[in-house]
C-alpha cells in the first residue's frame, strides 16, 4: 500500500464516516432517540478521520507487530482526542465532552477505557481495515475513483469550514463578515439562520456539555499571530542551539541541526513551543509529575509524527534511534521521551513565563513591519527548504530537472550543500 494523497483521503473520509456511524448509534441507544453526533452538516466525525490518517502514517511500518499497533494507536488516538478537547475548550471556553465521572481519566478529556478501545480500533484498521478498504476501491474505474475522491474532499473541507464558522460564531467576532452577511439579502440571511439553528440544535442534542450557558474555563488573553510567530522563531532558534551543543558534547563534533536552508532554525522545536504555548497554558497549577507525563506522551507522539511525515514527504529520515534501547521504529526512544517530559516542566514553570514577559516588553520596540518582514522570511525559508528537500530526494533517485525551478534548486542547493545542512539525513524507500 502506497501512502499518497488518494489513499490518505480515502482513509480520512471513510473513517470520518464510520466514526460518525459508531458515535451516532451509541448515542441513539443511550438516549433512546436518534442523536446526530456530527457537528458538520454531512455524516462525518472528522476527528476519527484525522486519527486514522495519523495512525496510518505513523504506524504503517509497524504492521507486523500487533502489540506495537495497539499501543501506538492507543497513544495516537488519545493524543488526538485530548488535543481536540483542549483546543475546543480553549477556543469556546466550554467542554464538549467530559469523562470526569470515569476512572483513570485525564482532566476529563480522555479516559483509559476509551483509549484502550481506540487502540483496538486503530490496530484493526492498520492491520486489516486499510487493505480491505483499498481492495474495495480498486474495483472502481480510476477516473471515477479520482473524481469522487476530489469531490468528497472538497465537500468535507467546505463542510468543516461552515461548521467552524457557525460553532465559533465567527460573524459575531468579525464585524466585516457580519456586514457582508447583511448585504447578501434577506433570502441568504434566512438560509444562514436556518443552517445556524440546525447546527446549534444538533450540538445541544449530541453534546449537552458544550451547550451549557456558563463557560467551564475563564477566558484567557488569546495569543495573537505575532505572538505565535515570534514564539516559533525563538523556539526554532533555541532548539537548534540546544541540539548543536548536545551533538558537540556527546559526539565531539560541530554539526548542523537546522531544518531550514537559511539560518539556525529547527522547525520541530519551533512548532513544539507553539503547541506547548497553546495547549499547556494555564498548567502552572498542575503538579510537576502531571506536566512531566504530559510532555512524555505528547512529545513522543509529536516526534514520531514528525519523523513519519517527513519520511513520507521527502523519502528521508532526519534522525534514527535504532541504536537506542526501547525505541519504536527508530523514530522515538524512551530516553528522549523522558527528555520531552523534562522540557515540558522547564517550559511551563520557567521558560514560558520568562519568554512571555520579555515578549511583552519587546512589543513596545517591535514594529508591525518587523513582524511582517519576519513572517515573509520564514515563509520563503520554509517553502524553499521543502522544495530543496523534495528536489534532493528526486535528484538522488536519478530524476533530471524538469523545469526552471528544479534547475535553480540543483544549482544553488546541490548535494554537497544539502549534506552540510542535513548531515544526518538518510534516504529511505518511501512508505509502501
How confident is the model over 418-429, as pLDDT tens digits?
888 888 777 765
Span of 17-31, 188-202, 207-221, 375-389 with lowest mean pLDDT: 207-221
Residues 50 and 105 in one domain: yes
- Collect all residues with Cβ–Cβ distance below 8 Å to 318 and sequence separation of at least 6: 259, 307, 310, 422, 424, 425, 426
* Averaged pLDDT for residues 340-367: 82
The answer to whether position 216 is within a domain reads no
Judge whether 328 and 304 are in contact, CB under 8 Å.
yes
**pLDDT for the residue numbered 284:** 60
**Confidence at 177, pLDDT banded by 50, 70, 90:** very low
Percent of the chain scored above 70 by pLDDT? Answer: 77
Residues 377 and 230 in one domain: yes
Residues 257 and 340 in one domain: yes
**pLDDT for the residue numbered 380:** 93
The residue among 178, 211, 244 that closes a domain is: 211
pLDDT over 90 (residue 377): yes
**pLDDT for the residue numbered 89:** 73
Percent of the chain scored above 90 by pLDDT? Answer: 6
Residues 277 and 309 in one domain: yes
Residues 167 and 305 in one domain: no
Residues 174 and 263 in one domain: no
Closest among 310, 347, 297, 42 to 195, alpha carbons compared:
42
The residue among 159, 185, 211 that closes a domain is: 211
Number of domains in the chain: 2
**pLDDT for the residue numbered 164:** 61
Residues 340 and 372 in one domain: yes
The answer to whether position 432 is within a domain reads no
Torsion of CA 54, 55, 56, 61, to 10 degrees: 120
The answer to whether position 220 is within a domain reads no
Torsion of CA 78, 202, 210, 295, to 10 degrees: 20
Residues 25 and 62 in one domain: yes
pLDDT tens figures, 283-335:
566 778 888 888 888 888 888 878 877 777 777 778 888 888 888 778 888 88
The residue among 211, 233, 260 that closes a domain is: 211
The answer to whether position 198 is within a domain reads yes
The answer to whether position 251 is within a domain reads yes
Residues 236 and 168 in one domain: no
The answer to whether position 292 is within a domain reads yes
Return phi, psi of residue 248, to 5°.
Answer: -65, -45
**Confidence at 120, pLDDT banded by 50, 70, 90:** very high
Q: Determine the structural domain holding residue 403 and report its residue range.
A: 225-427
Residues 183 and 292 in one domain: no
Return phi, psi of residue 111, to 5°.
Answer: -145, 160
**pLDDT for the residue numbered 369:** 83
pLDDT tens figures, 180-217:
445 444 444 454 455 555 555 555 555 555 555 445 54
381 or 193: whose pLDDT is higher?
381
pLDDT tens figures, 41-85:
567 787 888 888 888 888 887 888 888 889 888 888 888 888 888
**pLDDT for the residue numbered 274:** 83
CA pair distance 191, 150, nearest whole angstrom? 26
CA pair distance 281, 86, nearest whole angstrom? 11
Residues 191 and 244 in one domain: no
Residues 196 and 231 in one domain: no
The answer to whether position 123 is within a domain reads yes
372 or 431: whose pLDDT is higher?
372
pLDDT over 60 (residue 167): no
Q: Tell me the three-class secondary structure of 199-267, residue by residue.
A: HHHHHHHHCHHHHCCCCCCCCCCCCCHHHHHHHHHHHHHHHHHHHHHHHHHHHCCCCCCCCCCCCCCCH
The answer to whether position 218 is within a domain reads no
pLDDT tens figures, 147-164:
888 888 887 777 666 666
Which residues make beta-bridge pairs with 333?
327
**pLDDT for the residue numbered 189:** 47
Amino acid at each position: 500500500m502506497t501512502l499518497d494523497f488518494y489513499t490518505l483521503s480515502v482513509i480520512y473520509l471513510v473513517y470520518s464516516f464510520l466514526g460518525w456511524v459508531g458515535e451516532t448509534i451509541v448515542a441513539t441507544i443511550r438516549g433512546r432517540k436518534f442523536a446526530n453526533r456530527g457537528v458538520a452538516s454531512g455524516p462525518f466525525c472528522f476527528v476519527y478521520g484525522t486519527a486514522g490518517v495519523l495512525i496510518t502514517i505513523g504506524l504503517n511500518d509497524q504492521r507486523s507487530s500487533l502489540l506495537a499497533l495497539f499501543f501506538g494507536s492507543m497513544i495516537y488516538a488519545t493524543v488526538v482526542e485530548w488535543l481536540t478537547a483542549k483546543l475546543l475548550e480553549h477556543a469556546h471556553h466550554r467542554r464538549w465532552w467530559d469523562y470526569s465521572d470515569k476512572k483513570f481519566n485525564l482532566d476529563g478529556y480522555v479516559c483509559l477505557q476509551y483509549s484502550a478501545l481506540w487502540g483496538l480500533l486503530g490496530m484493526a484498521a492498520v492491520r486489516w481495515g486499510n487493505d480491505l478498504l483499498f481492495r474495495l476501491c480498486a474495483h472502481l474505474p480510476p477516473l471515477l475513483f479520482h473524481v469522487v475522491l476530489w469531490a468528497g474532499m472538497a465537500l468535507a473541507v467546505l463542510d468543516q469550514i461552515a461548521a467552524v464558522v457557525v460553532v465559533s460564531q465567527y460573524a459575531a467576532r468579525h464585524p466585516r463578515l457580519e456586514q457582508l452577511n447583511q448585504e447578501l439579502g434577506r433570502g441568504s440571511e434566512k438560509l444562514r439562520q436556518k443552517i445556524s439553528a440546525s447546527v446549534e440544535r444538533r450540538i445541544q442534542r449530541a453534546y449537552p456539555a458544550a451547550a451549557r450557558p456558563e463557560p467551564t474555563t475563564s477566558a484567557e488573553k488569546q495569543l495573537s499571530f505575532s505572538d505565535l510567530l515570534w514564539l516559533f522563531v525563538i523556539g526554532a532558534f533555541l532548539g537548534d542551539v540546544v541540539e548543536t551543543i548536545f551533538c558537540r558534547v556527546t559526539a565531539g563534533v560541530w554539526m548542523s541541526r537546522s531544518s531550514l536552508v537559511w539560518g539556525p532554525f529547527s522547525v520541530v522545536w519551533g512548532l513544539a513551543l507553539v503547541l506547548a504555548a497553546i495547549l499547556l497554558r494555564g498548567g502552572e497549577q498542575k503538579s510537576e509529575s502531571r506536566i512531566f507525563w504530559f510532555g512524555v506522551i505528547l512529545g513522543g507522539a509529536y516526534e514520531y509524527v514528525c519523523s513519519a511525515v517527513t519520511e513520507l514527504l521527502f523519502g528521508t529520515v532526519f534522525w534514527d534511534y535504532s541504536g537506542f534501547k526501547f525505541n519504536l521504529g527508530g523514530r522515538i526512544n524512551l530516553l528522549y521521551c523522558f527528555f520531552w517530559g523534562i522540557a515540558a516542566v522547564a517550559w511551563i514553570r520557567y521558560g514560558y513565563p520568562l519568554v512571555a514577559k520579555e515578549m511583552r516588553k519587546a512589543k513596545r520596540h517591535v514594529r508591525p513591519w518587523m513582524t511582517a518582514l519576519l513572517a515573509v522570511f520564514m515563509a520563503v525559508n520554509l517553502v524553499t527548504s521543502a522544495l530543496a528537500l523534495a528536489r534532493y530526494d528526486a535528484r538522488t533517485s536519478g530524476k533530471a530537472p524538469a523545469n526552471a525551478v528544479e534547475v535553480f534548486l540543483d544549482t544553488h542547493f546541490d548535494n554537497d550543500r544539502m549534506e552540510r545542512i542535513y548531515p544526518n539525513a538518510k534516504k529511505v524507500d518511501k512508505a509502501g
